[in-house]
Copies of this chain bind each other. A is one copy, B any other.
């Protein structure tokens, strides 16, 4: 990569403060508070700002490295975006996000915010409160999926943007690269552009233009573009990052969850079919448990909202305490490794490159 635009590797933060929306998710404080306790035990340099109703936070009074921040309202999982945005201005979700904007040095200033609240509301409130970074048209949601290399593939966008232009896809690639660099320590992660393989029908005009922009960005040392990838490459681990529009990303994520659930159910049915298969299940139990742990989707919980002037992580709404703790840990790693600075830095580099005259960059 070109040294003058390569991402810096800033020193990690020594202390990280997380704002936690304790009311979000299907289970609220019954899940988030135990998760916070477990997280604090494992992360001695973390501090938490626990945001919730006074009643809900009573259980956390006196916890070490915790500050309680009360909010009078709660965004329900089925609240429309407008309600979260315009009517519930003192919701735990919104208050937690606003803590990212407190003055540096203040005791209630958060480095990153985590919520299991509904995605549409979280994205809308975060965007309204924080605004997008310079050079970013639209924030994106990024998550990881397991792959055959026993690693993770980072996929974005997952539903924030239904219709994407080629420039949006380029921005997703840059933000995804910053995320993988920060969380996984790979400074030049590979980027694949999700496409379909058939000769006659290779992608829409948007995809073709995005490929041109990505090639130009790679030539300028801004990212490591592998080329087009197909749906199966997500699970092969062909690239570290797979970029797609939010409609496709959302459908693939949900279809994958559905397929995995179906296969798990079929395995369960087969092993409980009769006396013989139940005996076989006993013998196979340790192996099956190991397999289950390996593909446990709770381990991958914690999607990043990228492109905002503040770090927000989203937990699955149905997360249990173990899963929510993973989301806290991902958010902690991202903040500690200065994900926000990295995204900002990389986006600025890309903007500089795009400003240079060059037909490939301006093709779209």
Contacts and interface: CB of A to CB of B under 8 A. Distances in A.
A200 B231 CA distance: 26
Q: Chain A interface: which size bin?
A: 35 or more
Contacts of A204: 162-163, 247
Given A280-B284, A284-B280, A232 B258 contact: yes
Contacts of A236: 258, 262
B259 A287 contact: no
Interface stretch (A55-63, A117-125, A339-347): A117-125
Query: Chain A: interface secondary structure?
Result: helix
Contact of A256 (B159, B256, B294): B256
Please indicate which of the listed interface residues A118, A159, A251 has the most CB atoms of chain B within 10 Å of its own CB.
A251
Nearest to A149: B262
Contact of A198 (B119, B147, B265, B284): B119
A13 interface: no
A64 interface: no
A140 to B, nearest CB: 12
Contacts of A253: 231
A120 B199 CA distance: 6
Contacts of A147: 262
25 contacts: A119-B198, A120-B198, A120-B201, A147-B262, A148-B261, A148-B265, A159-B201, A162-B201, A196-B246, A196-B247, A201-B246, A204-B247, A230-B250, A231-B257, A231-B258, A232-B258, A236-B258, A236-B262, A248-B248, A255-B256, A259-B259, A266-B295, A276-B286, A280-B286, A280-B287
Given A235-B261, A270-B290, 19 more contacts: A80-B199, A148-B261, A159-B196, A161-B201, A196-B246, A230-B250, A231-B252, A231-B254, A231-B256, A231-B257, A232-B254, A232-B257, A234-B258, A247-B248, A252-B255, A263-B263, A263-B295, A266-B295, A273-B287
